[in-house]
Chain A
C-alpha cells in the first residue's frame, strides 16, 4: 500500500501556513493528510509541543517528542519569529502564495496579527484565515487562561465522564477528563470542516474568508444528550462508570473477563438478547437458569429483579472467556459488544492492517518504524488519507520554503542576522 490514498491529494496544490500554539496542530495535520502543503512556522526554540512527552528516546530533545511528531506529520517546518518586525516581509511573501492561514493561541496573541491578515486578504483575496482561540475573538471570557483540561471542564465533557456516585448518591470521585488533546481534537476537526467548506465557497465566489473558531464552543457542542436533556426537560445528566451519563442510575456495561480485562457488554432488555445470551451460555458450558420456567415467571412478576439476575448471568458468561473471545463470539451473534482494548492492540489487528489504519513512519533515532494512526476511511480497499513523510525537524524547510516565496539567499542570511530566523 502506498502512503497516498484516494483523498490524500484532495487538497493537492493548497498551501497552508500554520502558526501559533498546539491548539491548531491537529487541524494542520488533518489538512496535510488530505494533501495540502502545510508549512509550520516555528520560533527559534521550536514549538512548545516539541517539549511535551512522550519522547522516542529519553533525552527529551525537541526532535524526539512523539507529541510533536503525532500532530505534525507531513508538514514542513520553517524557523521564523512571526512577531519579529524583520519577519514581516517574509510573512507577507508566504501569505501571498498561501491558500489558508491557521493561527492559534490566546485571543490576545492572535489579535495582534489580525490587521496583518486583513491586509494580506486585500492583496490576496482568495486567502482563508482561520483563528483557533480558547473562546473566539470576542465575548466576556475571551481572555481566560485555558488548557485542554480546563476546556473539557468548562465545555461540559468532564461533567458527563467519571465514576458512579456512592449508593447514597454522593460523588466521591472527581469528574474525568478523557486523556489526550480531546479539546484540541474537537476544535481541529471543526476547523477543518470550516476550512474545507471555505475552500468550496472560494471555488464558487473566488473569495476567501475569515473564520473565528472558539474551542469552548466546539467542546460545548460535543456532549451529545447532556444539553438537550436540560433544554427540553430541565434535567441534568449524571456521570456513571464506563457508560452514558443519564438522569438516573443505569445498569453496568463494563464486565471483567477471565484474563483480567474488561469488555463492554450491554443489555438491551426486551430485545433478542435473552435468547442470544442463553445460546452463548450454553455454548460456553456455563450453568444458568435463563431458559427455566422460574426465570420466565420472574420476568413477568418482577422485571427489575429479572434484569439484575440476567445481568449477573452476563457477568458469569463474560468471566468464563477472554476479552477477545467475548468480543468475537458476541459479534458473531449480532451483539454490539466489544473488548476494552489498549489502543496499541489495534496495530496488529488484521482488520486494521487490511484497512491501512496505521502508517509506518521511519524514526532514524530508533532505527525502526513507528505505526501512526492516519486514516478513518478506505475507498473500499486502501486508506484514503496518509502522509508522504513524517514530522519535520525544526527549521528543516526554512531555506527551501523561503526561496519558493521569493527570498534570495542574501535575504535569508539577513533575516538570520536580525534574529528573525
Chain B
C-alpha cells in the first residue's frame, strides 16, 4: 500500500495551539498536542512574578549562567516540541497582541489561577467573539465552576483532596505514603490532551468550538478506581493495603528486599501454579506443602506470615537475577527500578528508542522521554514541528510575530522597546 503522501501529514496538521500554561499539568497537555504535530506557541513573560516556576526548578543542565531561565531539565522534558514567545499580558498592548494570536488559533490552553483571565478581560465569552470556533481549555486545581472556584491547588493538593494520597500506603497506624511526585500533573495533562483532541475531532465534523473547564482534583477522582464504589456498598471508609491485592486472592503480592542498598523486587502471584513455580525457584518447596499456603485463599488469610517468609528468602538475592529466574518460569516479578536503572539497565527502553535526543538552543542535546507507542503511519515526534527540546524564553519571537502574525520589523522593534514582547 502506498502511504507516502499521507505519511508526511501529522495528525494535528494545521492546528495552532496558544499555550498559556505553567508548571507541569498544563504544559503536559500541550506537549501531547505538540507531539501530534500541532503548532504549539508557548506564551510567557520574564518578569519574576510572571515567570514559570518550572524554568528555575532543578535539575539544571550543568554549566552556563547561574541566573539563566533556560537550563531546567524538567522544563525541557515537559515543553519539548513547542515554540516560545514572550508577551507582557499585564499591558493592554500585550493583551491586544494575545487576541491576535487567539484569533488565528484552534486551541487555547491555560492553567493560570482561576480568575486571572477575567481580570485580563480575556474570558471565554470575549475570546469566542474573536474566534467562534475556539476550543478553550482552562485547567485549574478544583475546577472553575462549582463552590471551590477560588481555591488553589498544586499536584499534591489535588492528590490529597481526591483521595489518592489516602489510598496509597500501609494501613493505619502507618500514615498514608501518598504519591512521591505530582502524579496528577501528569494525569491532568493526559486528560487535557484527550478532551482537546476529542474537541478537535468534533470541530472537524461540526465546526463548533467549546469551553472546557478541567479540574485537576477530578482527574484524581477519576483514577481512584473502585474505592468510591466499595465504600458506598460497604458503608466503611476506604482503607489502605500496602502493596497487597484487595480485589483477589493474589498472594504473595508485594515488594521484598534484595541484596544491596535499598534494592527490592516486586512479585505478584495470581494462582496456585505460579505459587508452586515461585516456591521451586526460590528454593523453598516446603512452602507448597504447608497447609496454610497450599491454596490461594489460605495464602491470603496468612499473608503476614507469607510476606515474612518471602522477605527472608529474597534478602540475599540479586533483584535482577531473581527477576530473570522467576520470569523464565513465567512468574510475574520485576525489580523496583530507580531512574538510573531505567536509564542504564533497562534493555527494553533502549531497544524501543524510548529516549529521544533533542537539541536545545542553550544547553545542547539531551535525552527527552518519548511517547510510549509506535505508529505504523502517523509521524509522531516529541520534538514537535521545530524538532527540538523546549524553547528558550522568547526564542521564537521573530518567527511568530513576523511570519505568523505578519508584523513588520518596525512594529516588532516598538513592541520590544515598550516592554510588550
Contacts and interface: CB of A to CB of B under 8 A. Distances in A.
B230 A54 contact: yes
A351 B146 contact: yes
Interface string A347-382: 100111011011000000010001111111111110
B282 interface: no
Interface in A276-298: none
Contacts of A327: 161
Interface residues of B, number: 156
B199 interface: yes
A69 B210 CA distance: 30
B338 A226 contact: yes
A145 B333 CA distance: 7
A242 to B, nearest CB: 4
A245 interface: yes
A36 B1 CA distance: 28
A143 B366 CA distance: 30
B226 A67 contact: yes
B163 A341 contact: yes
Name the interface size band of chain A: 35 or more
Interface in A46-67: 51-54, 56, 66-67
Nearest to B224: A343
A347 B142 CA distance: 14
A232 B219 contact: no
A214 interface: yes
Interface string B221-258: 11111111111111001101111011110000111110
Interface in B132-156: 142-148, 150-154, 156
B165 A264 contact: yes
B153 A336 contact: yes
Nearest to B349: A220
B26 to A, nearest CB: 13
A92 to B, nearest CB: 19
A237 B245 CA distance: 27
A154 B335 contact: yes
Contacts of A74: none
A210 to B, nearest CB: 4
Given A139-B347, A378-B143, A344 B218 contact: no
A176 B177 contact: yes
A290 to B, nearest CB: 22
Nearest to A374: B222
Which residue, of A138, A178, A253, A357, has the highest number of chain B Cβ atoms within 10 A? A178
B304 to A, nearest CB: 14
Contacts of A372: 228-229
Contact of B332 (A30, A56, A147, A203): A147
25 contacts: A52-B247, A53-B247, A66-B226, A125-B1, A138-B352, A148-B268, A174-B243, A175-B264, A180-B227, A193-B190, A194-B371, A199-B197, A201-B377, A210-B375, A212-B373, A233-B60, A233-B62, A239-B180, A338-B158, A342-B227, A355-B215, A372-B229, A373-B224, A376-B222, A385-B195
Q: Which 3 A-B pairs have the closest CB atoms?
A: A343-B163, A180-B225, A217-B372
